[in-house]
Structure 1
């Protein structure tokens, strides 16, 4: 039973985070290499803008904003699921190798498979999902012990090992590719948001729209999975079945996000942990906060990266790593105490 005071606090925080996100969106609509004054935003939205203003707003800024927010939501939700089913606050798609597996699949798909440009955008998340799924199954296999079940610490260590190995494989794959393709893969590795058109939004949106309500539907089972395996079995939960289903959802979310944003790490680590610190570990309480925080964090990281250094800026993946790496070290030291 969740106390009414905690529910009230959660609703208040959720409303506050959504408000902060909306304010940040408004501020960032006027920031960029091509100026767009704030007093012109409403007229442009209402169709009373010049061609240049409409192009900047509807073809450049809004699709990029939608992509970064949706990808941040997907990564935060993926991290929330992973941390819960592994009972490890250090689990995150980028850290345990899921993103690297998706990256190898994207590289193979981009380098070797002839595909029409029109279907490329929609096939890319599927290719990333297959690569991430194979990777996570291997990680799960090497982290599982028949006598004691899934080993959370081993999962992180095995995942980090896979991440390094797959990053090396990525370098081997692109070593003999043409310059144009190498540039694309290099940008992907650095987390340089490259899918900034409306078709990429449409490719990512269904995964988020479907898997958010699915995860909330599974919230009670997620809470049971945080308990010991003997207790979970005692209440009648089919542990492995639920764990595999939720793991697939986590992989799909992470793969769909990184297929259009590149190798983004630490968003799925920070957002769930901050949310749990504020409202506790109950999935129904912290996940709504985590997804809004995830969208906001990646959006802010991308905005900072694009405007901090001229003319090309820093990739969002590097900015999020600069923020998230110290937080990861803090969590690691905290777990050792």
Structure 2
């Protein structure tokens, strides 16, 4: 027994060391992307100008560009990337479905429908609506997730991974159709806003949107990280987890609520950005393994890096115009999704 325990302990130490190294490298890459993004835009700021402005020695124009336009957008990119990736990691874990993602399952579409209904009748940039939008998105995402869960669940069988993904795609298609009908009734100004939002543009680019999103991320991410051990148990299967004494349904619903909260609040300020919740957890699993103590934070870092890089590319590649961040992510994510689909045994 002792040699087996020694080998297991040594393996865990190696895995933990590898995880720390991977997360450190990802953190450095995010900082580098952060710096590059601050220098990217129609009005170019050199690295020296950015440093001077950060320390209060820049011009009034440079301060306005950096602190009021670029920094809030960059911070939001990091937050929504982490939120969407962790949401996808939760959904993949509790459903044991490698293709689960808040975008593919229709949770993002449900959040988007509520945001769109609100925008159709009220201005989306008023002070009150900025803080109300994440709540409305949460309601829409929660209703959609509950509908998908009920339709996918079968008594004595639980949730079938195949049934879950097909149900999610069907619900997402229905919501998308409803959103198309709504767009036909919008006036031109609101239609332009909705079209940009649906493409995945980070439209909430000021500090009020950061303050609206930050509480959701600060509360829900630590909660999910705390539940990492529970997610490891749930991955063993419903019967095994129940045999080990885990309240499977209770924990699954709590984690699903956390995933919905992260996805809904992120979608409220980022629009329809898909595939982050699919790519982040998959790359993290390849780098650090399936243990959620490492998988969850690594997914968050990869998601943050992916969105900030995509947003920077979108702002840079066709200056002075912009490509919505969601389109850049989709260019990366769609082929990766098809690759995963071809490798997944259904």
TM-score category by the smaller chain? over 0.9
Map 1:132-281; keep pairs closer than 5 Å. Answer: 132-281=141-290
1:4 to 13, 25, 40: 13
Q: Once structures 1 and 2 are overlaid, which stretch shifts more, 107-116 or 302-311?
A: 107-116
Using the size of structure 2 for normalisation, the TM-score is: 0.95
Residue 126 of structure 2 corresponds to 117
Question: CA separation in 2, counterparts of 1:329 and 1:207?
Answer: 31
Question: CA separation in 1, counterparts of 2:125 and 2:196?
Answer: 21
Using the size of structure 1 for normalisation, the TM-score is: 0.97
Question: CA separation in 1, counterparts of 2:200 and 2:112?
Answer: 11
- Mark the CA change 1:217 to 1:57 in structure 2 (over 3 Å): closer, same or farther: same
Q: RMSD of the TM alignment (CA)? A: 1.4
Question: CA separation in 1, counterparts of 2:124 and 2:316?
Answer: 34
2:80 to 56, 71, 76: 71
CA deviation profile, 1:212-234 (whole Å, cap 9, x unmatched): 11011111111111112110110
Whether 1:32 and 2:53 are equivalent positions in the alignment is no
Shift of residue 336 of structure 1?
Answer: 2.9
Please say if residues 148 and 164 of structure 2, whose CA atoms lie closer than 8 Å, have aligned partners that are also in contact. Answer: yes
Residue 288 of structure 1 corresponds to 297
SS in 2 for 1:336: coil
CA deviation profile, 1:79-121 (whole Å, cap 9, x unmatched): 1100000001100000110010001100111113588911110
Shift of residue 311 of structure 1?
Answer: 2.8
- Mark the CA change 1:46 to 1:113 in structure 2 (over 3 Å): closer, same or farther: closer
CA deviation profile, 1:219-259 (whole Å, cap 9, x unmatched): 11111111121101101111111111100000000010010
Question: CA separation in 2, counterparts of 1:196 and 1:291?
Answer: 21
Question: CA separation in 2, counterparts of 1:6 and 1:173?
Answer: 50
Residue 93 of structure 1 corresponds to 102
SS in 2 for 1:3: helix
Question: CA separation in 1, counterparts of 2:121 and 2:207?
Answer: 26
Residue 304 of structure 1 corresponds to 313
Q: How many residues align?
A: 337
SS in 2 for 1:164: helix
CA deviation profile, 1:261-285 (whole Å, cap 9, x unmatched): 1000000100111001111111001
Residue 70 of structure 2 corresponds to 61
- Mark the CA change 1:100 to 1:288 in structure 2 (over 3 Å): closer, same or farther: same
Shift of residue 70 of structure 1?
Answer: 0.5
SS in 1 for 2:279: helix
Question: CA separation in 1, counterparts of 2:174 and 2:335?
Answer: 23
Residue 3 of structure 2 corresponds to none
Whether 1:80 and 2:104 are equivalent positions in the alignment is no
